[in-house]
Chain A
Amino acid sequence: MPITRDEVAHLARLSRIALSDAELDHLAPQLDQIITAVAQVQEVAAEGIPPTSHATGLTNVFRDDEPTPCLTPAEALDQAPAVEQQRFKVPRILGEV
Chain B
Amino acid sequence: MELTRMTAAELSAALASREVSAIEVTQAHLDRIAAVDDRVHAFLHVAADSALEQARDIDARRHHGENLSPLAGVPVAVKDVFATKGLPTTCGSRILEGWHPPYDATIVQRLKQSGAIILGKTNMDEFAMGSSTENSAYGTSRNPWDLDKIPGGSSGGSSAAVAAYEAPLAIGTDTGGSIRQPAAVCGIVGTKPTYGGSSRYGVVAFASSLDTPGPFGRTVLDAALLHEAMSGHDPMDSTSIDAPVPPVVAAAREADVSGMRIGVVAELGGEGYQPGVLARFAESVELLESLGAKVTEVSCPHFRYALPAYYLIAPSECSSNLARFDAMRYGLRVGDDGTRDAEEVMALTREQGFGAEVKRRIILGTYALSSGYYDAYYGKAQQVRTLIIRDFDAAFGQVDVLVSPATPTTAFRIGERADDPMAMYLADLATIPSDLAGNAAISVPCGLADEDGLPVGLQVMAPAMADDRLYRVAAAAEAAFTRRWGHPLLAEAKGL
**Which residues of A are in contact with B by a Cβ distance under 8 Å?**
3, 7-8, 11-20, 23, 26-27, 30-31, 33-35, 37-44, 46, 49-56, 58, 61, 63, 71, 75-76, 78-82, 88, 90-95
A17-B350, A34-B421, A79-B100 known; A56-B385 Cβ under 8 A = no
The answer for the CA separation of A33 and B437 in the assembled complex, in Å, is 26
- Interface pair A38/B363, CB less than 8 Å apart: no
Most B CB atoms within 10 A — which of A54, A90, A91, A95? A91
Main SS of the interface on chain A?
loop
CB distance from A46 to the nearest CB of B (A): 4
CB distance from B209 to the nearest CB of A (A): 5
The answer for the CA separation of A76 and B11 in the assembled complex, in Å, is 39
- Interface pair B437/A30, CB less than 8 Å apart: no
- Interface pair A41/B363, CB less than 8 Å apart: no
Contacts of A38 in B (CB 8 A): 308-309, 311-312, 368, 377, 381
CB distance from A96 to the nearest CB of B (A): 10
Does B481 belong to the interface (CB within 8 Å)?
no
Pick 28 A–B contacts, CB within 8 A, sort by A.
A12-B359, A15-B350, A15-B362, A16-B326, A17-B362, A17-B363, A23-B356, A26-B356, A31-B367, A33-B421, A38-B377, A41-B377, A41-B381, A44-B384, A46-B387, A51-B382, A51-B383, A52-B382, A54-B209, A55-B209, A55-B439, A78-B102, A79-B99, A79-B100, A79-B330, A81-B328, A91-B336, A91-B342
Contacts of A43 in B (CB 8 A): 305
The answer for the CA separation of A16 and B384 in the assembled complex, in Å, is 30
CB distance from B222 to the nearest CB of A (A): 28
Stretch from B160-168, B234-242, B399-407 contacting the other chain: B234-242
A15-B319, A17-B350 known; A71-B103 Cβ under 8 A = yes
Does B343 belong to the interface (CB within 8 Å)?
yes
Q: Produce 1/0 per residue, B362-378, CB < 8 A to A.
A: 11101110100000110
CB interface residues, B 97-120, toward A, < 8 Å? 99-103
- Interface pair A49/B308, CB less than 8 Å apart: no
The answer for the CA separation of A37 and B370 in the assembled complex, in Å, is 18
> Besides A17-B347, A17-B359, 13 other CB < 8 A contacts?
A17-B351, A18-B347, A18-B350, A30-B360, A34-B364, A40-B305, A49-B386, A51-B386, A52-B382, A56-B241, A58-B239, A71-B102, A93-B341
A27-B359, A38-B311, A93-B342 known; A58-B235 Cβ under 8 A = no
Does B63 belong to the interface (CB within 8 Å)?
no
Listed from nearest, the 4 A-B pairs whose CB atoms lie closest are A55-B438, A51-B382, A81-B333, A46-B383
CB interface residues, B 175-205, toward A, < 8 Å? 195-196
Does B422 belong to the interface (CB within 8 Å)?
yes
Contacts of B414 in A (CB 8 A): none
**Which residues of B are in contact with A by a Cβ distance under 8 Å?**
99-103, 195-196, 209, 235, 238-239, 241, 302, 305, 308-309, 311-312, 319, 323, 326-333, 336, 338, 340-348, 350-351, 354, 356, 359-360, 362-364, 366-368, 370, 376-377, 379-387, 389, 421-422, 436-439, 464
Contacts of A79 in B (CB 8 A): 99-102, 329-331
The answer for the CA separation of A15 and B333 in the assembled complex, in Å, is 16
Most A CB atoms within 10 A — which of B235, B241, B343? B343
Contacts of A92 in B (CB 8 A): 341-342
A55-B209, A56-B196, A82-B333 known; A44-B387 Cβ under 8 A = yes
The answer for the CA separation of A75 and B183 in the assembled complex, in Å, is 37
CB distance from A60 to the nearest CB of B (A): 8
The answer for the CA separation of A70 and B359 in the assembled complex, in Å, is 33
Contacts of A52 in B (CB 8 A): 382-383, 385-386, 389
Nearest A residue to B341 via CB reads A92
- Interface pair B359/A19, CB less than 8 Å apart: yes
- Interface pair A30/B383, CB less than 8 Å apart: no
Taking a contact as CB atoms closer than 8 A, the residue among B209, B305, B329, B351 that contacts A53 in the complex is B209
- Interface pair B386/A14, CB less than 8 Å apart: no
CB distance from A95 to the nearest CB of B (A): 7
A15-B350, A53-B209 known; A34-B100 Cβ under 8 A = no
Taking a contact as CB atoms closer than 8 A, the residue among A49, A56, A94, A95 that contacts B195 in the complex is A56
The answer for the CA separation of A93 and B302 in the assembled complex, in Å, is 47
- Interface pair B209/A91, CB less than 8 Å apart: no
CB distance from A1 to the nearest CB of B (A): 13
Taking a contact as CB atoms closer than 8 A, the residue among A44, A50, A55, A88 that contacts B329 in the complex is A88
A37-B308, A79-B100, A81-B327 known; A63-B235 Cβ under 8 A = yes
CB distance from B327 to the nearest CB of A (A): 7
The answer for the CA separation of A12 and B347 in the assembled complex, in Å, is 9
A15-B350, A44-B387 known; A53-B382 Cβ under 8 A = yes
Contacts of A56 in B (CB 8 A): 195-196, 239, 241, 438, 464
- Interface pair A31/B341, CB less than 8 Å apart: no
A18-B348, A18-B351 known; A34-B336 Cβ under 8 A = no
